[in-house]
Amino acid sequence: MSTVNLVSDEAADETARDVFEDIRSVRKTDFINNFWRAAANDSQEMKAVWEDIKRVMGPGALDPLTKEMIYIAVSVANACTYCAHSHTASARAKGMTDEMHAELMRVIGLAARTNHLANAMQVPVDEAFDKS
């Protein structure tokens, strides 16, 4: 179930169709996942998000796989079901092994544990950590 229509290739407007084509070309597959079919209801925003993804997720000071794992971490903490699924699949497609996935899970679980302890005890931030 979803709160919006999933837009087919036929129903897409020109901007959305162009993004569909670019996604297919960048990913070298015909498959368009549901996020983009939902996003196509507002093709201007869809295009802005897609351009952002290309700008941010490519190689740079961090490699694309590291970025995907960071993306998963945020998605899990935000309880985004769709994102946990889609970015875990992306990370695997970019070379995440079972061992790397296992370590990712460990770090996420540990961080959540200490996040909640720090929030519960309201630990005051040490002066030594300030950069401003």
Residues 70-109 that bind a copy of itself (CB under 8 A): 70-89, 97-109
**Which region, judged by CB under 8 A, interacts with a copy of itself, from 8-16, 18-26, 63-71?**
63-71
Minimum CB–partner distance for residue 26 and a copy of itself (Å): 16
Shortest separation between residue 44's beta carbon and a copy of itself, angstroms: 8
Question: Among residue numbers 113 through 132, which ones bind a copy of itself (CB under 8 A)?
Answer: 113-132
CA gyration radius for the chain? 18
Residue 48, number of CB atoms within 10 A of its CB: 12
Residue 127 burial (10 A CB sphere; 0-12, 13-18, 19+): exposed
Cβ at position 4, least distance to a copy of itself in Å: 5
Distance of CA 32 to the CA centre of its chain: 15
Q: Is 27 in the site for a copy of itself (CB under 8 A)?
A: no
Only one residue has tokens 């971490």, namely: 73
Q: Which amino acid is at 60?
A: G
Between 21 and 60, name the residue whose CB sits nearer to a copy of itself. Answer: 60
